[in-house]
Structure 1
């Protein structure tokens, strides 16, 4: 058995805040029934946006999840999503005060770009205006006082990890990963290293992002390949021949990652064992162009497969990055064929951005949660909107209905536009 002669690392708690459900039961229920969270964007006006669809988290009440509710006023929506998911994961793992030594309890969390809300700076900017011009010198003279001194705490990417450690008295190692989509898997990799060398017993791992704000929506519409479809039911269709872009979303997922022996001693319920993790980089920073290559993803998967000591035929499914753009999906498919040869067309593939869109660090975490729950329920969710296979991908994309998971292992992968890739392999225990 892979890892039997060394420290084993397991998942003992999961928390999810997503466009298709808050909490693991609602989240998994939506995937079982094929319910998408993509709809017409409601949070901001869309008249001037080319892409008018998004995947928003609905009916989210952060105070229902957080213990320290007084900190909410210092949290942007991204942070609220992440800290809420972490609180649910810790509760799900059965960890309360005294269960884990605080000095052996850490946090490794991913975050994306957290923009400010324009209204937070309006008054300060107004005071710098004169005769339709902007007087920069006034900024330091008399306008800084119009901005709350704690304003920056809402934008710093390390704040989710900080709030999580305060919330749960996790006094061990604490770090933030800001590597876009790969952040959650890289955070998991870091947690595994801490656990395997005996420095901690347990870590809170995950990632959060919200692209549902005026700044990110405007920026992404200019920079990213977003779907212009009007019909939310088929707008995001990974690996489909007729796909025309991704959909923006928001969400977070968090996990309690634990030393197997420690989890057994405290009687924890174990979801899965992490048996392989790999990372790789393409060595370039070209976004959304035909110059993207698959080197980073190939290296990441090779490393994960080597650690797990698995053959391609021993993978129950691959939870693909599946961004739903022409170039990203083709590069990803090419990596699988380069790695697995003819077996690439035999491994079940699912692409879950078809349910909840793309939201950088957070989407990688939510996809990881889906693979863990897939192992728990012995089922692979179907990819939505997959109607016409892309001959340049040639993959066994699970679609139509949920498919039984006959082999109790799953691999989830993430790529970024900067060439960073990560892959994790999990197994039932």
Structure 2
């Protein structure tokens, strides 16, 4: 069967730099840093005091007050972002076959804050006193389930749990699901809310997090002084749609999704394979999946760019392996310098930023970049974004467990 085209017709996000797409994209263009001292709990007894939190957000402003009490924070983010994406798409569900509408939304950790609070309460009152809403507000797939219920999507509903690659896996899986004829519409992306004492403590013990107190030198991808990532939270949800279906209803189109690569390092539980071998294969797969897009046609890569020593040098090596000399001509930036690392939500939010980069012809900066690293010698768009004529852009996500996911987007010129 001939492969069908897939386009983005709606987007929604809540993240450390904005409560919607317009606000977030303007903040990214302005180089706003969303990293600040932790406010969700008292972190004074821990080594890490900074995070990229969603700020000044009242879920009851967009969600039912009763339902909010029974939803994990990660599900609140996801449903709120999905509501924005659906409104943006102007999709009329009364005119749709709901069994041909899918939901693929990732969360790496799910409702860990609920687990922490319930554990504390049950140690005092007994474990049979656990909330009946504990399990359904905690399990990682519930954000996807909540979205399906909210909008009546009755097609496949699933949750890729692939750590930091999850959001991109969700977008890529949704792309293929539509392209191969299983659905006309999909809500996809990722969500995460794990700025909690246990999450912060666990990542700190792994020496994965930055432990300083200066937000401007905390998440500094590709900088020689990088020493760990900053934990972020939020959600990014996209409406993907089969091209003819979108055109028939007169939908606006942001960008086209044209390729997807997913690989595993099969090397180490946290460290990337030497030379970024798995990530390189994923990027190459995405180009081939798009019908063999030549590497020199790619203008921009929204890098995984976590600000850890191993990731950033490994990803740089992977880009060189795939793009050769063209690696030095294309732009590579990490918006995690602004949003921190949102784990399972990262790929969803970064897919939105990549689509907006193509639409507006604007490459986001890697902010707070100061000290060059000989192992990271590409054009990381330091400190100031720039206007550019973009045609193809790649979004990379690389996760613990060796998971690699890369999605290739094309500028919409219809």
Aligned counterpart in structure 2 of residue 26 of structure 1, from 1, 23, 27: 23
Query: Residue 12 of structure 2 corresponds to which residue in structure 1?
Result: 15
Bigger radius of gyration among the two: 1
Residue 279 (str. 1) matches residue 262 (str. 2): yes
Query: Residue 295 of structure 1 corresponds to which residue in structure 2?
Result: 277
Query: Shift of the alpha carbon at 1:194?
Result: 2.2
Change (3 A) 1:6 1:118: closer
Query: Shift of the alpha carbon at 1:97?
Result: 3.5
Moved more, 365-374 or 336-345: 336-345
Q: For residue 366 of structure 1, give the secondary structure of its aligned residue in structure 2.
A: helix
Distance 1:221 1:123 in 2: 25
Aligned counterpart in structure 1 of residue 148 of structure 2, from 161, 165, 176: 165
TM-score, normalized by length of structure 2?
A: 0.95
Residue 59 (str. 1) matches residue 91 (str. 2): no
Contact 2:43 2:197 in 1 (8 A): no
Distance 1:198 1:227 in 2: 44
Query: Shift of the alpha carbon at 1:71?
Result: 2.2
Query: Residue 390 of structure 1 corresponds to which residue in structure 2?
Result: 373
Distance 1:302 1:180 in 2: 21
Query: Shift of the alpha carbon at 1:293?
Result: 4.9
Query: Residue 427 of structure 1 corresponds to which residue in structure 2?
Result: 410
Structure 2 counterparts to residues 151-230 of structure 1, below 5 A: 151-230=134-213
Distance 2:319 2:93 in 1: 45
Q: For residue 187 of structure 2, give the secondary structure of its aligned residue in structure 1.
A: strand
Matched residue count: 409
Query: Residue 134 of structure 1 corresponds to which residue in structure 2?
Result: none
Change (3 A) 1:146 1:248: same
Query: Residue 131 of structure 1 corresponds to which residue in structure 2?
Result: none
Query: Residue 400 of structure 1 corresponds to which residue in structure 2?
Result: 383
Aligned counterpart in structure 2 of residue 305 of structure 1, from 273, 277, 287: 287
Aligned counterpart in structure 2 of residue 330 of structure 1, from 310, 313, 318: 313
Query: Residue 330 of structure 2 corresponds to which residue in structure 1?
Result: 347
Query: Shift of the alpha carbon at 1:122?
Result: 3.1
Query: Shift of the alpha carbon at 1:124?
Result: 2.5
Distance 1:370 1:196 in 2: 22
Distance 2:348 2:45 in 1: 31
Contact 1:105 1:171 in 2 (8 A): yes
Structure 2 counterparts to residues 219-258 of structure 1, below 5 A: 219-258=202-241
Contact 1:280 1:298 in 2 (8 A): no
Query: Residue 46 of structure 2 corresponds to which residue in structure 1?
Result: 49
Query: Residue 122 of structure 1 corresponds to which residue in structure 2?
Result: 120
Cα deviation, 1:72-95, whole Å, max 9, x if unaligned, reads 222111111111111111111012
Aligned counterpart in structure 1 of residue 87 of structure 2, from 84, 87, 91: 91
Contact 2:331 2:380 in 1 (8 A): yes
Query: Shift of the alpha carbon at 1:117?
Result: 4.6
Q: For residue 185 of structure 1, give the secondary structure of its aligned residue in structure 2.
A: helix
Distance 2:269 2:146 in 1: 34
Distance 1:30 1:106 in 2: 31
Gaps of 5+ in 1: 128-142
Residue 109 (str. 1) matches residue 105 (str. 2): yes
Distance 1:37 1:256 in 2: 25
Gaps of 5+ in 2: none
Q: For residue 233 of structure 1, give the secondary structure of its aligned residue in structure 2.
A: helix
TM-score, normalized by length of structure 1?
A: 0.91
Contact 1:93 1:268 in 2 (8 A): yes
Query: Residue 37 of structure 1 corresponds to which residue in structure 2?
Result: 34
Query: Shift of the alpha carbon at 1:159?
Result: 0.3
Query: Shift of the alpha carbon at 1:288?
Result: 4.2
Distance 2:182 2:208 in 1: 42
Query: Shift of the alpha carbon at 1:312?
Result: 2.4
Cα deviation, 1:20-57, whole Å, max 9, x if unaligned, reads 00111100110111111001112111222212111010
Residue 360 (str. 1) matches residue 382 (str. 2): no
Change (3 A) 1:49 1:99: farther
Contact 1:210 1:251 in 2 (8 A): yes
RMSD across aligned positions (CA) = 1.7
Contact 2:115 2:134 in 1 (8 A): no
Moved more, 343-352 or 112-121: 112-121
Change (3 A) 1:10 1:233: same
